[in-house]
Chains A and B, each alone.
Chain A
Amino acid sequence: MRKGAAYLQHYAPTPGRSFVVRDDGKIQVDPAKRFITPFTLVTEPEEILVPASVEMCPGLLAGGGVENAVILPIDNKGPFEAVYSQFTAVFASGPDAGQPTDQFMVVIFDPEFRPVLMNREIHVRTIAGGFGSSLGAGFGTAFQSAAGRPMVWPETFFMEPTEGGKALFLAYRNLTPYPIRVKWAFHGIRYYHLPDYRAAQKEKEAMYGKGRVSFPYFYTTDTDVRLLADESFDFDVRITDEADVEIVKMNVFSDEAFLWRLMEKAGKRFLDNSGPGIAGVANGIHSALGWGDAEFPFIPFETMYYEQNSKVMISLVNALSASPNRIFPTLCCRKIHHA
């Protein structure tokens, strides 16, 4: 048995019990089980064609966005609780037509076109399983993806069709010069019996005290990051005053390996001991030692809990490659609102 607190202390939906024990000691099928089912929410239509982007100059893409919002509608039969996300994408034309690709960005927004679960668009490899992953230490085999490795969200997300949660909207932006076809799926739980849904909501609320609402949130950089050799970039994650944030997983997609450091602005505390580099050059931890991807995320031993109005700075240095390096980091968080 490990010592210390549970390894990951986040809320997970209570699995429906198939059987219940009656007062007379006999067992029977749990009546609620008939009204709680797994459910997969896909886009409408299921496959979305994303137009090609145009490279205006090295590192600067234009276009590539879908024209209309991609809709994931929920019918009125019952609320939905999203737990996993997954995608498949292939080139629609070009030299690699039919081959899988992971080069696009995604943003989830509400009917008012506000990003609801993220600060801006996120690289798909950091938010959804479905492409396969190279394990990276020089001895792991590259694995093709399977449904067995979806991105498990740091927190579930409730959608209630009777209370304005009738649909989620996605937008994609292609990062390649060829059109691609994308299929997206949210896996989760469907509640066809409203009291069970309320009970699940109540259980979740209980984790954070009365009047608190928690949901998943994905932080990335405010702008796209493309670093030349030895170039560095610092970005702040601002925990605004409406919610606390708990960082649960750290994911990244990058063209090359890089160095990074994480610093809490208050007290200027670093979360590593790498210190300044030789002759004072920017230093840090190798990206493969602190960042995973959606299929194999890096889960820190201790989640990072930051209260409102705090700030965390992430430094990225392209010190391990002579090539330009696109870096798309994503902090997978739980946001806890004081409702």
Chain B
Amino acid sequence: MSLPVYVRRRRTPRPQDFIANQLKIPVGEAMRFLQSLKSWEKDFDGYYINPTKRHVRPFWMVPKQAEQQALTLAAAGAAGDRAKLVQFEVDTTGHYEIESTMFVATSSDFLVEIFDGGNNMKGLQNQEIHARTIAGTARRKFIWPESYFLNVQNAPRTLLMNFRNLSAAPNTVRWSFHGRRWYHNEAPPNVAKAIWERFEDMEKTYTYFLTLQPNVPETGVWANSPAVTLAAGQALTENQAPQFHATDEADTEIHKLTYSATGAFEFQLRERQSGRTLSNGFVQVTNGWGDGEFPFVLPETLLIERNYQLLLEVRDLSGAENIIYPTLTGRRLQYA
């Protein structure tokens, strides 16, 4: 398990000292209190049904409009190859917590963007993201590193999505968010309160998808933006390399690496500011990046602080033009 990014330091490391000081009692007495507290923590009568469990259900969220639930996009480059602001609405009967994303499509070659309409159109990504890097199917759904909470206390909430087809043929896409509903309105007051308290904290953290940011437009590698396009055998290293650029409103903790590409390549990740690399050489892509169904989960999460830049040094191995869409999936802590 990864180390936590943020740790809290105690003013008084030993609990008995703290209790003795607070209650103005001898340290020995505080020790006895702690020992009996430990016994109490282990003293259970058995397990009983959680009262909240009755008011929580899994939930699938698909586009609000029936005609958009199977959304047909024209061939790439043709009129109608994209759909803007497709609405996914959750009504006021219960809060919704998104856990994962899934899709089925004629072709998995399309790009998406997700925005939170109820939160000033906050984007969950920095650029368009390749669909197969952030979604799977029921058999292997793409589980977000942090659930995303839609509070419907006062009004329905809407997520909005943009789709852009990349395939040469028309593409019919069915997209679904999966998660759970917390039916707070029907719950008894004590359970509703517990649900509300739980969610107050959860709104501050969210999932974020980070893809490449064009930084060297003159090289011509951005012909398929936001992908990087390599000519046969081409390598982009150091200042020529494309970069992941974390914006300044939040730190980003990266959990999963996923990609879609037209050919094989090898890569090396380099922190721009320090020059530090995350490997001791180039690594074959299949040894470090997965896809939405089988993402590569980092053994230690990677913290990208605000305004930090991570270079993706790449070298084509396919011997042909190679269009690469990498995605770093992480979570952000919003500074309120």
Residues of chain A whose beta carbon lies under 8 Å from any beta carbon of chain B: 1-4, 133, 135-140, 205-210, 244, 250, 257, 264, 267, 269, 271-278, 283, 285-293, 296-298, 300-305, 307
Contact = CB atoms under 8 A, between A and B. Distances in A.
A300 B141 CA distance: 10
A3 B90 contact: no
Interface stretch (B24-32, B53-61, B116-124): B53-61
Nearest to B149: A3
Interface in B62-100: 62, 64, 66-67, 69, 88-91, 93, 97, 99-100
B138 A289 contact: yes
B267 to A, nearest CB: 20
A1 B4 contact: yes
A217 B318 CA distance: 50
B57 A277 contact: no
Contact of B137 (A206, A208, A289, A301): A289
Given A137-B103, A278-B66, 14 more contacts: A2-B147, A133-B139, A137-B105, A137-B132, A139-B291, A208-B47, A210-B46, A273-B62, A285-B176, A289-B102, A291-B138, A298-B141, A301-B178, A307-B54
12 contacts: A2-B146, A137-B105, A137-B293, A139-B260, A140-B293, A205-B46, A208-B47, A257-B104, A273-B62, A273-B91, A277-B66, A300-B58
B59 A271 contact: yes
B48 interface: yes
Contacts of A210: 45-46
A160 B5 CA distance: 48
Of the listed residues B91, B103, B145, the one surrounded by the most CB atoms of chain A closer than 10 A to its CB is B103
B106 interface: yes
Interface string B123-138: 0000000001001111
Q: Which 3 A-B pairs have the closest CB atoms?
A: A296-B139, A300-B58, A302-B180
B139 A271 contact: no
Contact of B69 (A137, A206, A244, A274): A274
A148 to B, nearest CB: 14
B23 interface: no
Contact of B60 (A257, A269, A289): A289
Nearest to B94: A269
Contact of A138 (B49, B104, B146): B104
Contacts of A274: 60, 62, 66, 69
A237 B291 CA distance: 36
B140 A135 contact: yes
Interface in B175-209: 176, 178-181, 186, 198, 201-202, 205
Interface string B1-21: 110100000000000000000
A80 B46 CA distance: 24
A140 B64 CA distance: 28
B107 interface: yes
B178 A283 contact: no
A60 B44 CA distance: 55
Contacts of B260: 139
A264 B183 CA distance: 14
Interface in B196-239: 198, 201-202, 205
Contact of B57 (A269, A287, A297, A307): A269
Given A138-B105, A300-B178, A273 B89 contact: yes
Contacts of A207: 47
Contacts of B132: 137, 139
A267 B179 CA distance: 20
A76 B189 CA distance: 53
A298 B106 CA distance: 21
B299 to A, nearest CB: 15
B249 to A, nearest CB: 20
B139 A139 contact: no
A314 B179 CA distance: 19
A286 B174 contact: yes
A136 B104 contact: yes
B108 interface: yes
B242 interface: no
Contacts of B291: 139
B292 interface: yes
Contacts of B137: 135-137, 140, 288-289
A292 B202 contact: no
Given A278-B67, A289-B176, A300-B178, A135 B56 contact: no
Nearest to A276: B66
Contacts of B102: 137, 288-289
A4 B198 CA distance: 9
Nearest to B145: A2
Interface string B245-276: 00000000000000010000000000000000
B57 A290 contact: no
A272 B103 contact: no
Contact of B61 (A208, A264, A273): A273
A3 B59 CA distance: 18
A302 B292 contact: no
Contacts of A136: 104, 137-139
Contact of A293 (B62, B139, B198, B201): B139
Contacts of B45: 209-210
A232 B186 CA distance: 31
Contacts of A269: 57, 93
B108 A139 contact: yes
A305 B103 contact: no
A133 B102 CA distance: 17
Nearest to B176: A289
B58 A302 contact: yes
Contacts of B49: 244, 305
B66 A301 contact: no
Contacts of B293: 135, 137, 139-140
Contacts of A137: 102-105, 108, 132, 135-137, 292-293
A138 B54 contact: no
Nearest to A293: B139
Given A138-B107, A301-B179, A271 B57 contact: yes
A320 to B, nearest CB: 9
